[in-house]
Amino acid sequence: MKPFKIRASAAGSIMAGNVGLSEPQQKKLITFQDKVKAGKELTLLQAAENDKLLKLLSNPQLPAGAKTYCEVWHKEQIYERRKEISGGPLEKGNFCEDESIRFLNIQLLDDHVKNEIYKEDEWMTGTADIISGDMVIDMKNSFTFDTFPLHDFGIKNKDYFYQLQVYMHLYGKQRAELRYALMNMPHHMIERAAKREAYYTNSEYDDVFTKVYNQLTYDKIDPKYRYKIFKIEFDPSIIEEVKKRVILCRKYITELDERIK
């Protein structure tokens, strides 16, 4: 079985949650240790909790979400196939990726093209959407207007934040941009939505199509309301944390492997 490496797009899956002691647990352990140093005796309950915290400190464990990700990855290796991810947002994102790059090029007077250069090291893998000078750019296509981050002023999705940090590490860049675009829904998806609504409402398809088309296309909207850019800087300390998580993932995957032999 090949050694586990985390994909940039999945880095957030192993970074959520605490490894070892949480901040409240750290404070509690310090309280117990201070009490012992002062010559005070812990209650039986406190002593048991103190032992549990010390064990967790010396033997950090992956949080549940990271373990679940490792379990899926382990199955993928055994059965030699990837878990399929589908759905409207992914379908639109894949279909509109090149179009959204062209759209932002026009708005920002850029000449970016889709990057095809794959990168990996001992810990991580990934293919950034765009490479530009000392910067990596990742494109996201909002599914509908209500999911477009018009009122956000920072990257709220931690998965995207970790994804960009890994890209910067792999490509040796110091800056990154997360670019959102609100593109028209692909025509075949509009047709599908219109057929579904016409069926469930017992309405004329042509009437429904016009309504759905107007709802899911944005050509009449001022372009400045159809893209949003978030900028971040490279943080090497985050990459070190990702590496530590990868090591713990490998350890857990080895445990999974041994259980089923």
Q: Tell me which residue range forms the domain holding 127.
A: 88-242
Two structure tokens written together for 234:
């490279």
Residue 162 within any structural domain of the chain? yes
Q: Looking at the structure, tell me whether residues 116 and 230 fall in a common domain.
A: yes
Indicate if the pLDDT at residue 16 is higher than 90.
Answer: no
Two structure tokens written together for 92:
């639109």
Q: Looking at the structure, tell me whether residues 116 and 15 fall in a common domain.
A: no
CB 86 within 8 A of CB 74: no
Indicate if the pLDDT at residue 20 is higher than 70.
Answer: no
pLDDT tens digit sequence for 161-209? 999 999 999 999 999 999 999 999 999 999 999 999 999 999 889 889 9
pTM passes above 0.75: yes
SS3 content of the chain, % helix, strand, coil (to 5): 55, 10, 30
Indicate the pLDDT class of residue 216, thresholds 50, 70 and 90. Answer: very high
Indicate if the pLDDT at residue 14 is higher than 90.
Answer: yes
Which of 13-22, 81-90, 203-212, 220-229 bottoms out in mean pLDDT, i.e. has the lowest? 13-22
Q: Looking at the structure, tell me whether residues 57 and 145 fall in a common domain.
A: no
- The structural domain count of the chain equals 2
Q: Looking at the structure, tell me whether residues 77 and 95 fall in a common domain.
A: no
Over residues 65-69, the mean pLDDT reads 93
Q: Looking at the structure, tell me whether residues 48 and 93 fall in a common domain.
A: no
Residue 100 within any structural domain of the chain? yes
208 to 21, 66, 149, 201, 246: CA distances (angstroms) = 55, 44, 28, 9, 50
Q: Tell me the C-alpha distance between 206 and 114, whole Å.
A: 37
Q: Looking at the structure, tell me whether residues 251 and 232 fall in a common domain.
A: no
Three-state SS annotation for 57-105: HHCCCCCHHHHHHHHHHHHHHHHCCCCCCCCHHHHHHHHHHHHHHHHHH
Taking the alpha carbons of 151, 155, 157, 163 in that order, is the dihedral positive or negative? positive
Residue 1 within any structural domain of the chain? no
Residue 78 within any structural domain of the chain? yes
Q: Looking at the structure, tell me whether residues 225 and 253 fall in a common domain.
A: no
Percent of the chain topping pLDDT 70: 99
Q: Tell me the C-alpha distance between 236 and 175, whole Å.
A: 12
Residue 64 within any structural domain of the chain? yes
Indicate if the pLDDT at residue 36 is higher than 90.
Answer: no
| Per-residue exposure over 93-114, b if at least 16 CB sit within 10 Å of its own CB, e if not | bebbbeebbebbeeeeeeebee
Indicate if the pLDDT at residue 37 is higher than 90.
Answer: no
Residue 60 within any structural domain of the chain? yes
The CATH number given to whatever domain includes residue 203 is 3.90.320.10
CB within 8 Å of 199: residues ≥ 6 apart: none
Which of 57-61, 84-88, 171-175 bottoms out in mean pLDDT, i.e. has the lowest? 57-61
